[in-house]
Each structure stands twice: as structure tokens, then as C-alpha cells.
Structure 1
Amino acid sequence: MTEFILPSNANDLNFRHRLPDKRLAPWVQCLWSMGRPGHLTESRTEKFYPDAGASLSIKLTSPHPIITLCFNKTTLIETLDTTAPCLGIRFKAAGTHCLLGLLPEAFTDTHYRLDNELEPLGLQGLIPVVERLYQSDSQQGLRLLETWLLHRLESQPPANSRITKIVQAIGALQLPPQQLGATLGFTRRTLERKLKREVGVTPGQLVAYARLNRARHGLLATTLPLTEIALQCGYYDQAHFTHAFQSLAYETPAAYRKRKLSQIYKA
């Protein structure tokens, strides 16, 4: 839905990311890797903000990998480490449904261990890819994951382009969701039902996430006052901005800006 904001401790984690092949761009935000074989560091915490996307993570532990799927419907505070290499795919909203055939509405929690569930979920082709990751460096590993996605795209082309278009338009804060849905033939109720099933959230939640992400970029990339950022992101005023931002990010816009900029300058 938005540009990618690097984790604040990206260097410590040896975090790297690359944009996907343009054929995957409607559904994949980036592919990423972190950690080094045999490299130890203290654990770090990082916030991951809601955008209705999802992350498929593969931690190359010995003797078996740990494969997880995480949906970003709320702000998550995660403990990260580099005790083993980890690679992953960051999906945009609706990406897991369109490319992997997974319905977010079927996942009631946030984190899922998939190590023993790949076949029931229809992800059999991922098993040989994961096995090859152990013999690859991070860049080779990301290319393997990208190739796997491209093969899925060719063999099972995404059918629901209308939902993808609506999600993209809501992410750009172009028009109210109901107006967007009407232009593509959806009633308000149908739009809400389809988004809840295929994206896992309501139209209103998607708008709130898009505003939050745009505000985060504005807070970091500009020195604009909070009132001006609030209006640019579609909030009524600064009070509305502060309340909405804090309810999702668990800190005020001013506190977020101060914390993130202090981390950037410290690095």
C-alpha cells in the first residue's frame, strides 16, 4: 500500500530488501533477508504497523526451518535476532489470497507456524525451495523465492483483479471505498464482504491503515507541523490525527517522530 520503511535497527540485523519483479508488484511489496550464518547479536525489538499485508518468513534453523505467516492487522512489537538467517516475502493487502490462494478471514490470529501445514495449504512447491535456501546466499535465496512466486503466477493467474484495484486505490486515498466499489460494480455490502474475506479487514480499516502509513512517511521525510500533516492525510484536524494515530501505533505522532529521528541520527 505504501513505500517500504526500513526497520530502525536494519544495520544491526543485516537487513536487506529488494523490490519484486514488476509482474509481482501488484501483490508483493518486497522480498527481504536478515541475519548471517553463525552471527550472534543481542535481540532487538521492532514495531510493525498495520496495513492488511502479510509476511511469509523462513528462518533457516538447524535441522529444520521455521516457517511462519504473519498478518499485519494491528501494530505488533516483535523481538528480532540474527542467530540464524531468515528470508521472507512481504505481501501487500490481498497478496496472499491472489498469489497463494489463502483467505485471511480463515486465519483468526496473527501468527501461524506453517512448518507442517504447507501441503494442506496448497504450498507444496515451497518445500524444495526452502531446502535450496540452505545452500544459497541471501541474494540467491531471494531470487529463488521470487522465481517460486512467478511460477505460481504463471500456473494460477490471480482472477480477482477488481479487489486488487480497489485495495490499491484505497491505499492511495483516492476516493471513499464505497465510491470506488461502485465504479467497479460492487454494492457497499458486497464490497465489505469481499474485502473481509479476501483481505481480512473492512474498507474503513484499510483507509485508517493508509492514513497511518502516509502520516508516518510525512513525519519522517518532512519537517511539516502536525496540523499540516493531519490535513494532507485526510484527518479532520490535529486532535483527530493524534487520537487516530495513537490508537493504531500506540504512541502519539510527536513521540513517533522524535523516536524514529533519534534512531536515524544515532545510526
Structure 2
Amino acid sequence: MRQVDAPHQHLVVCIPERVLLSAASGDGTSSADLGWLHEKAFRDAFLSQLCLTIWDEARHGNPLGPMFGDCAHLALAAGLMRGAGRRGKTKRETRKLHDRELKRIQEYLDERLDQAISLRDVAGVVGLSQQSFARALKETSGLSPHQYLITRRLDTARRLLLDPARSVAEIAATVGFSDQAHMTATFSRQLGYTPGHWRKERLS
């Protein structure tokens, strides 16, 4: 047993059994197969980093919104199943979203960019489970649902930045970022410019 003899913090993440089983759907895994989770401790670099990201997100008041939480939930479940060798027993084909389905998703997101959007609600637009939708969207666009939502927000933000009458803070609120600083950080990370710099170059 390892002794802890210094101040420390720990993160407890609870994943419902139904989420684990959803992550393992299609390979014959049942609730009886999940006992290995309690057998011994293990390390996984991907899961560790994901948990640190969740920790950081929670410390800052969840600025990325419920979509990030939903996707993180599924990623944790999928990582645990992969670590147990449950994934990949049989090769599962992942279908792509049809053009009309992708258009419905885009319209749904664009109409609600300033709202808290959950993965469950978006998946329901095309009648898929959260796990199936996440896989189909990744296969279609190369992006996770959260990444796809951020892309839609940035696309709309760029369009609105072409209107000099709108402030960056107003645009950030309109497209669903928690504040101007959040949009600026995301804009800079994804596009290599701050919103102000991008606007200045386009309007000069």
C-alpha cells in the first residue's frame, strides 16, 4: 500500500454502467464483464490527461459547456473498455452521416449557439445514441461533437466580426463562449489570430 505523507488533491470520476456498456456495444460485453475495473490499479496516459482536463474544466466553472462533459464521459468509458481489451473484438463499421443529417445538425447547432447544448440533444436530432452519433460524426467530419460545435461557433464568430458595429464581447456571448477571454483564447488557438487582429486584417 502506498503511503500519502504530503498535502494532495484527488479527482473522483463516476461513470454510469450504462455509459460503459454503450461504449462496448456491439462486442458482446455485458455488465458481468466489468468486474476487472475493481481488480487492480492501472495507469493510462490518455485517461490521465483526460482526467486532468476535466479537473481543469471544473476548476474554471465549466466554460466549455455540457457538450465537452458529455464527450469526455464517452471518451473515458471508451478508454476503459479499450484498456480491458473489450474494444476491437470484432471490427465494427461506422457509418457516415448523410448530407441531410449533417445539415440538420448544423441548423440545430447554429440556432442554439448561445445556449448550453448537450450531446444527447444533438444526437437525438438524427435519432442516434450518443455513442453512435459521436462515431458517425467523427467518421464524417473528422471531429468530435465538441470540436464540431466549437468549429460552428468560430465560423459564426468570423462572420459576425465583419460587422464593425459588434463588439468582440457581444459576439462571444452570441456564439456561446463563456466570455470574451474564452473566445479570444479559442480563436487564437484554432486560427492563429486574436479576434481583433483577424477583424483588423479583414476590414482594413
Structure 1 length-normalised TM = 0.36
Structure 2 length-normalised TM = 0.46
Q: Which structure dedicates a bigger proportion of its chain to strand? A: 1
